[in-house]
Amino acid sequence: MKKNKISKNWINRQRKDIYVRKSKIEGYRSRAVYKLEEINQKFKIFHNGASVLDLGAAPGSWTQYILKNYKNIKLASIDLEKFDEIGNVFQITGDFTEDIYKEKILNFFQDKIDIVVSDMAVNTTGNKNLDSIQTSELCLDAMRFSKDILKKDGIFVSKIFVGSTFNEIIEETKKIFKKNKVFKPKASRKESKESFIVCSVLR
């Protein structure tokens, strides 16, 4: 009974959500695309000819946005879940924290890259503090990998949850990047603790 109530609430929320409706009209696979669009409008992340890694890419709306709006992009997307192919993108199904998949990414680009974006989050358990800690670990893993793969003036964007590990992440970004900003897009649900950290210029 409780599960059915939660399902109905989710369906009703989706119907009322302007970003869900907009994504269907514009042909994007999820409402998450509008978070990236807002981040990009504010921080000017992407440019034509950029090399980009999209972490936690499924179902692929961030990848869609990048390809749709920029030319001559070299783009790799990875997720634990397999998702439908998108244009001329190198898609990987696997865990980017494992060396075998890091090698695949490095072999594809063959050189340092311009941008890493990550919308990764763990599957929620219902324990918000635990979810925050686990998602923070993904952010830290992505950040450390970015340190190895980004150009000196590269950009790193990642989802973070405001919680017990928030300050730890901020301190870590300051050690790795010279510029750091935290931003919550309007497209993020009000009740969500998610924000995004936008970092640039490696130390």
DSSP 202: E
CA dist., res. 123 & res. 108, Å (int): 28
CA dist., res. 184 & res. 201, Å (int): 21
Instruction: Look up 193 and say whether it is catalytic.
Output: no
DSSP 11: H
Residue of 8, 42, 71, 159 marked active site? 159
Which of 22, 7, 52 shows the shortest CA–CA distance to 157?
Answer: 52
**Start-to-end Cα distance in the chain:** 54
DSSP line for 93-153: ES-TTSHHHHHHHHHHH-S-EEEEEE---PPP-S-HHHHHHHHHHHHHHHHHHHHHHEEEE
What is the bridge-based pairing of β-strands 74-79 and 150-161?
unpaired
Residue with tokens 């324990």: 127
Tokens describing residue 135: 């998602």
- Could you list the active site residues? 159
